[in-house]
Amino acid sequence: MLSLRRDPSWHARFLRGDKDVIEEIYKDTFNEVRLAAGSILRDPADRDAVVHEVFLELISSRHLRESHRGGKLGAWLGAIARHQAIDFARREKRLTPLSDANEPVTTVDPLDEIRAEIVRFATRLDPQRRQLVELRYIAGMTQMEAAAALGMPRSTLEDWERQIRRALHDFLTIGAGEGKKQVVPT
């Protein structure tokens, strides 16, 4: 990519969707985009479908190319891949295979156990921090959405979240769930 980046017309060619520029970006960022999608989706076929969507959109959407504001292309495309992977996982979760439509659902979500541990951890928190955990980690709100719902600045929410993540890590790894006293931020 360095050879193309040194070209003064690179940005204009990128915005136009020039085949050589897009091909070079694909070669340079493919692994990073695939890893980003793989951080959300474990099934290789699902991950590859998302990677395909990302690059197809990069090729076909000038609007997407115009949304790049500089910085590392791999990181930017990786963020897009993570968002699309999350959307993909949500869509797939809502689908019911036709063969299972008349059968009672008895599958267990592997994340249920983790969610239960998070809920158990949250009971040890003060009410506001418990609500933060519920909004961010159970309901899946963004930091901005959770801060608005809690009526606090996002920077305060970030500080609380950092403290909570440390305490949750200790809770899950040290074994606070096995009767040990847990120090929880207040």
Q: What is the mean pLDDT of residues 85-97?
A: 75
HSE at residue 148, side-chain half, CA atoms within 13 A, is 5
**pLDDT 10s digits, 27-37:** 999 999 999 99
pLDDT at 165: 86
Contacts 24+ apart (CB under 8 A), 31-38: 32/74, 32/75, 32/77, 32/78, 33/74, 33/77, 33/78, 33/80, 33/81, 34/81, 35/78, 36/77, 36/78, 36/79, 36/81, 36/82, 36/85, 37/81, 37/82, 37/84, 37/85
Is residue 177 over pLDDT 50? no
- Compute CA 23 distance to the chain's CA centroid, rounded to the nearest angstrom: 26
Q: What is the mean pLDDT of residues 125-142?
A: 85
Q: What is the mean pLDDT of residues 38-49?
A: 88
Q: How confident is the model at residue 10 (pLDDT cuts 50, 70, 90)?
A: confident
**pLDDT 10s digits, 95-127:** 555 555 555 555 666 667 777 788 888 888 898
pLDDT at 119: 81
Burial class for 161, CB neighbours closer than 10 Å (0-12, 13-18, 19+):
buried
Is residue 164 over pLDDT 50? yes
Structure tokens at 56: 């197809």
Residue 97 CB contacts under 8 Å (≥ 6 apart), including other chains: none
Q: Which of the pair, 59 or 112, is modelled with greater confidence?
A: 59
Q: What is the mean pLDDT of residues 86-98?
A: 72
